[in-house]
Amino acid sequence: MTITEVPERTVLGTRMLRKEDPALLTGEAKYTADLPIPGALHLAVVRSPYAHATIDSVDVSGALAMPGVVAAYSGADLVDLWAAPMPCAWPVTPDMKNPAHYPVAVSRAVYAGDGVAVVLATSATAAVDAAERVQVEYTPHEAVTDLEDALTDRVVIHPELGTNQSYTWPLLIEETPGAVDAAFAAAAYTVKERFVQQRLIPAAMEPRAVAAVPQPFGGDMTLYSATQIPHILKIMTALTLGIPEHQMRVVAPAVGGGFGSKLNVYAEELLCVALARKHKLPVRWTEERSEGSMSTIHGRGQIQHIELAADEQGKLTAMRVRLIGDMGGYLQLVAPGVPLLGAFLYAGVYELPKAYDFSCTSVFTNMVPTDAYRGAGRPEATYAIERSMDSLAAQMGIDPLELRRRNFIATDKYPYEAFTGLVYDSGDHDAAATKAAGMLDYEGLRAKQAAQNVPGARKRLGIGVSTYFEMCGLAPSRVLASLNYSAGGWEAATVRVLPTSKVQVVTGTAPHGQGHETAWSMIVAEKLGVDPADVDVLHSDTAIAPYGLDTYGSRSLPVGGVAIAQACDVVIDKARQIAAHQLEAAPEDLEYVEATFRVKGTPGKEMPLAAVAFEAFTAHNLPDGLEPNLEGHTHYDPPNFSWPFGTHMCAVEIDVETGQVEVLQYVAVDDCGVQVNPLIVDGQVHGGVVQGLAQALFEEAVYDTDGNLQTSTLAEYLVPSAADVPSITTGHTVTPSPTNQLGVKGVGEAGTIGAAPCIINGVVDALSGLGVHDVPMPASPLNVWNAIQAATSNQESNP
Ligand code: MCN
């Protein structure tokens, strides 16, 4: 299907206020920890204070003697509860090394925070107090917290594996053998960079929370969890605990943000279910904020080596990428696949011939396991290419925006088959860059910069530019299969027109802040011509929505939203047959306008959808063979990923004496195809930009060499507050995706992907006159100041 122009819309594209917000803003919405569950036992987890230790003994008797304590268990006490180890659903290579990972460690703790025992008590405070009475004897070992050190196997974390290397995943794409080396040998310019993607600690407003409620008879179990993935969690819980899947129900009540951190199967989820089964009582657990920094996955954690080759014009001719990925102590649900998601995007929005040599080796370390965090692999890739493009421009002495324009994939080449073989659906990079440059007053700022950044200036102005391409809408099941991902990429939707013509939608997506109830209502309203207020969206309960693949990878709209549009088509087709039968006309002679079927050319001969719905319900006079009721159901597996893109620009000012960075202006031009709700899109971009800016300027999980997390509370881990964030100006271009009927692409991660390289490019641009070539993330005052000192002392010693 090709979309050449955007059809006229009435509801889509309007800035409708979010339906979800009144309940969220007034406190009416119920999160997992709010659920009243009479008689529930509370779980507390005893966590290893050591990053790497043998567990010599666990004595729970002290805990058992405490008031309110019902039970206490070591890891060894629980082994019979697990039918399988905790799941990793992305075995990227057949020989990937994956140590057995159980919800409570039995013999070794491999990161500070690893669970080593649990307590069940009648209140949360009793459980936490008693947990402190569990006596664990450890023999500590040397910890590995440096990725390059991990590679050497000097200390092996999982002795049974014999190495810290989990896997090496190569992707060599050459037109002819030796093409990469030949291009580098012939290059007019080469760039060689090393970047560090520091570990980040997700900080969703709602901590994780779990409640497992067994039915008194028959073995049915309901798991309430603050999760992004109720469907995947249901399957994985059933498999890991040996529960028949049809007896597992997972409900995600209101979920207060996840950003990837709730895209997992966690020990506490499995523990609550297993112990609820064992004790035949509900069991619940709510994460404490400081506990969360050691019990919930971390994000990023990569060392990136990137090399570019370019011709005299600066056009890219080849690229080499070597990554070291930090998996932490164990492989979490999709962690091994995160670098792969980036592997296809290192050329960004630029043309690259088939001369690409990528490889990633992922290692175990004695730190909290990492996994997908907003953007998952794609912010990292974008950072590397966009920082490197600035280095290339600096080497060539040309404007970084000009260099990018020379390399853009031209608009008329879309759909564009990239060097990887993936087909990018649509793009207009020049338009996005031109719009961003106009919004920032790029030329004016460059003139101002030349005047301001004179020798001796205390405040230096920098202009940051970043473009990005994103592969999102994780999606075609066959492509995911080729990457060894264990699940598919389809999405399910049901649209029901109830007898009184109100509409019920059942979606397999699991929103946790993205506004799907609003957006899906708008899609239905647009397709069926009904009022969005008359549409109710049901989600995040596997008993109500049995099929679905949940929310991550900016997939919900391009997969789940399109599924809803298709389900509406099924409804309209069926309604057309009923209306045609009633109106004694041929179905093809009916047009459907404003929620009414009309016989073309016969004014007055018409039947509203509401009447059709009632007719479908009574079934008094349906066409022969047609089933009662008006319902459409689809499973949509898209033919391609969706490929949003954009250009971000910023102006930063740096006080060279303190190293303080101030973001003066931030402009984000994002193209996510047709927008369902521009208000939501803007919100997504704002939130995303703040998350990227947070990586660029504030956040870093710092470990000491013994593997102690030094930034375990929000006092040390700097999540930016509203006061730390500049005002963000959003702009958009609209290049519809030709691969789906709505013309949409995802947007949930776009802001994060564009922001970090944009800010750091601005910081380096401000300081390049002082000889600064790079500033590590986060560009804290100390890191900036150190970079300035290193560059200026270097200039003094090599004048
Ligand atoms: N949208 C739109 N028009 C478009 C694209 C999107 O109106 N062309 C709307 C959609 O209808 C949807 C929202 O924007 O309401 C996001 O859609 P989409 O890009 O499909 O992303 P998902 O809904 O799949 O959300 C996942 C994405 C990811 S991967 C992370 S991480 C993230 C994000 O969403 N985590 C979030 N945004 C978040 N927002 C909040 N509040 N909390 C999180 O944890």
| Same domain as 72, residue 183 | no
Q: Does residue 711 belong to any structural domain of this protein?
A: yes
| pLDDT (0 to 100) of residue 410 | 98
| Same domain as 746, residue 694 | yes
Q: What is the pLDDT of residues 199-231, one digit of tens each?
A: 999 999 999 999 999 998 889 999 999 999 999
| Same domain as 238, residue 129 | yes
Q: In terms of DSSP bridges, do strands 41-47 and 283-286 run parallel, antiparallel, or are they unpaired?
A: parallel
What helix, strand, coil percent values describe the chain, rounded to 5? 35, 25, 40
| pLDDT (0 to 100) of residue 9 | 66
What is the signed CA dihedral for 676, 680, 683, 687, rounded to 10 degrees?
A: -80
CATH number assigned to the domain comprising residue 47? 3.90.1170.50
| Same domain as 746, residue 683 | yes
Q: Which residue has the tokens 């970084």?
A: 400
Boundary residue ending a domain (377, 407, 437): 407
Q: Tell me, in angstroms, the distance from the centre of ligand 1 to residue 557's CA.
A: 8
The three-state secondary structure class of 185 is: helix
**Nearest CA to 361 among 419, 321, 307?**
321
355 touches 317 (CB < 8 A) = yes
394 touches 360 (CB < 8 A) = no
Q: What is the pLDDT of residues 37-58, one digit of tens each?
A: 999 999 999 999 999 999 999 9
- Structure tokens, 301: 């954690």
| pLDDT (0 to 100) of residue 1 | 40
| pLDDT (0 to 100) of residue 7 | 54
- Structure tokens, 177: 């053998």
The neighbour count for residue 698, using CB atoms within 10 Å, is 20
| Same domain as 137, residue 156 | no
Nearest atom within ligand 1 for CA of residue 519? 11
| pLDDT (0 to 100) of residue 216 | 83
Residue with CA at minimum distance from ligand 1 atom 41: 513
Domain of 613, in residue numbers? 21-28+490-636
| Ligand 1 site-directed mutation target among 516, 554, 742, most atoms within 8 Å of CB | 554
Helix or strand (DSSP H, E) at 589: none
| pLDDT (0 to 100) of residue 118 | 98
Boundary residue ending a domain (575, 606, 636): 636
Q: Does residue 419 belong to any structural domain of this protein?
A: no
Q: How far is CA 769 from CA 368, 455, 696, 773, 788, in A?
A: 39, 8, 21, 9, 10
| Same domain as 118, residue 195 | no
Boundary residue ending a domain (616, 636, 656): 636
| Same domain as 593, residue 453 | no
CATH number assigned to the domain comprising residue 693? 3.30.365.10
| pLDDT (0 to 100) of residue 10 | 83
Phi, psi of 637 (to 5 degrees): -120, 105
471 touches 442 (CB < 8 A) = no
Q: Does residue 478 belong to any structural domain of this protein?
A: no
CA dist., res. 18 & res. 679, Å (int): 9
Nearest atom within ligand 1 for CA of residue 516? 15
Q: Does residue 497 belong to any structural domain of this protein?
A: yes
Q: Does residue 507 belong to any structural domain of this protein?
A: yes
Nearest atom within ligand 1 for CA of residue 558? 20
Q: In terms of DSSP bridges, do strands 535-538 and 503-507 run parallel, antiparallel, or are they unpaired?
A: parallel
Residue with CA at minimum distance from ligand 1 atom 12: 514
Ramachandran assignment for 629, one of left (phi > 0), alpha (psi -120 to 50 degrees), beta (any other):
left
Q: Which residues line ligand 1 (CB under 6 A)?
A: 257-260, 374, 512-516, 519, 551-557, 561, 672-677, 680-681, 684, 687, 744-749
CA dist., res. 342 & res. 335, Å (int): 12
Domain count, the chain: 4
CA dist., res. 567 & res. 492, Å (int): 9
Q: What is the mean pLDDT of the chain?
A: 96
| Same domain as 236, residue 190 | no
Residue 752 burial by Cβ neighbours in a 10 Å radius (0-12, 13-18, 19+): buried
Q: Which residue has the tokens 């080449």?
A: 413
Q: Does residue 712 belong to any structural domain of this protein?
A: yes
CA 41 to centroid of chain Cα atoms: 33
543 touches 514 (CB < 8 A) = no
Q: Tell me, in angstroms, the distance from the centre of ligand 1 to residue 747's CA.
A: 6
Residues 6+ apart with CB under 8 A from 11: 522, 525, 526, 532
| pLDDT (0 to 100) of residue 204 | 96
Q: Tell me, in angstroms, the distance from the centre of ligand 1 to residue 681's CA.
A: 8
Q: Which residue has the tokens 């004179």?
A: 454
**Nearest CA to 628 among 497, 503, 536?**
497
Residue with CA at minimum distance from ligand 1 atom 43: 257
| pLDDT (0 to 100) of residue 307 | 98
Nearest atom within ligand 1 for CA of residue 676? 7
DSSP conformation class of 561? I
For residue 778, whether the previous peptide bond is cis, meaning omega lies within 30 degrees of 0, is yes
- Say if pTM beats, i.e. exceeds, 0.75: yes
Ramachandran assignment for 767, one of left (phi > 0), alpha (psi -120 to 50 degrees), beta (any other):
alpha
Q: In sequence order, what are the beta bridge partners of 355? A: 174
110 touches 365 (CB < 8 A) = no
| Same domain as 754, residue 653 | yes
Nearest atom within ligand 1 for CA of residue 518? 15
Low-confidence ranges of the chain (pLDDT < 50): 1-6
Q: In terms of DSSP bridges, do strands 590-593 and 596-599 run parallel, antiparallel, or are they unpaired?
A: antiparallel
| Same domain as 156, residue 84 | no
| pLDDT (0 to 100) of residue 73 | 98
- Structure tokens, 230: 């109720």
| Ligand 1 site-directed mutation target among 557, 685, 734, 752, most atoms within 8 Å of CB | 557
CA dist., res. 273 & res. 680, Å (int): 35
